[in-house]
């Protein structure tokens, strides 16, 4: 299975996926890593693993790509012969061009047990709500934010002395375990 990874930030989930492939735990290949942030660390991780990578200027919108840019993203992923699009901290909402080009072939990881706590900083939402457990979810991307069908989840307890930072760190550790497993599940089906 050929993966196209999209990310906007530090790329820790991208690294976890690439390490799982390198270590023989995930039978897949990352065909391309694309970021909407010019100097995003995720692009450096791609270079470290000798994976083709590219910066895609997002345009003028803050939370989504301009339509022409999203069409360009579709072309880049198709040119790389990608089977599955993997969002790894990609901070833009995908619209019709991507959703139509890759139906049920775009997945995301979110730091909560969806449908609980969609949106930004879900670990802070969980703390504010007094939740006793949270976790992370791999799900299909649809036309709503943090909404599509769940593929896999891992629960993470909220400890009495947790801060936003400690809870987030434990959720990220769970994400690094969950994402490669979920991709392996999809590759085997």
The catalytic residues are 110
DSSP string, 124-188: HHHHHHT-SEEEEEEEE--SSTT-SPEEEEEEEEPPTT--HHHHHHHHHHHHHHHHHHHHHHHHH
Q: Which helix (H) or strand (E) holds 74?
A: helix 67-79
Report DSSP state, residue 103. Answer: T
Q: Is the dihedral of CA 101, 31, 25, 19 positive or negative?
A: negative
- Phi and psi (nearest 5°) for 145? -80, 130
What would the two tokens of residue 139 be? 């799900």
CB 104 within 8 A of CB 142: no
Side-chain-side CA neighbours of residue 65 (13 Å): 26
3-state helix, strand, coil in the chain (%, to 5): 40, 25, 40
């Amino acid at each position: 299975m050929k993966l196209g990874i999209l990310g906007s930030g530090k790329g820790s989930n991208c690294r976890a996926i690439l390490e799982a492939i390198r270590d023989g735990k995930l039978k897949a290949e990352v065909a391309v890593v694309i970021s909407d942030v010019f100097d995003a660390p995720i692009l450096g991780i791609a270079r470290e693993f000798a994976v083709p990578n590219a910066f895609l200027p997002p345009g003028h919108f803050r939370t989504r790509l301009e339509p022409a840019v999203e069409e360009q993203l579709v072309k880049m992923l198709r040119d790389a012969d990608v089977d599955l699009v993997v969002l790894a901290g990609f901070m833009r909402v995908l619209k019709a061009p991507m959703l139509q080009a890759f139906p049920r072939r775009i997945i995301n990881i979110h730091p909560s047990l969806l449908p609980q706590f969609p949106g930004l900083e879900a670990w802070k939402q969980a703390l504010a709500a007094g939740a006793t457990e949270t976790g992370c979810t791999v799900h299909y991307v649809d036309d709503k934010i943090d909404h599509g069908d769940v593929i896999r989840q891992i629960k993470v307890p909220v400890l009495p002395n947790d801060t936003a930072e400690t809870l987030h760190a434990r959720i990220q550790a769970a994400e690094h375990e969950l994402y490669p497993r979920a991709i392996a599940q999809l590759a085997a089906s």
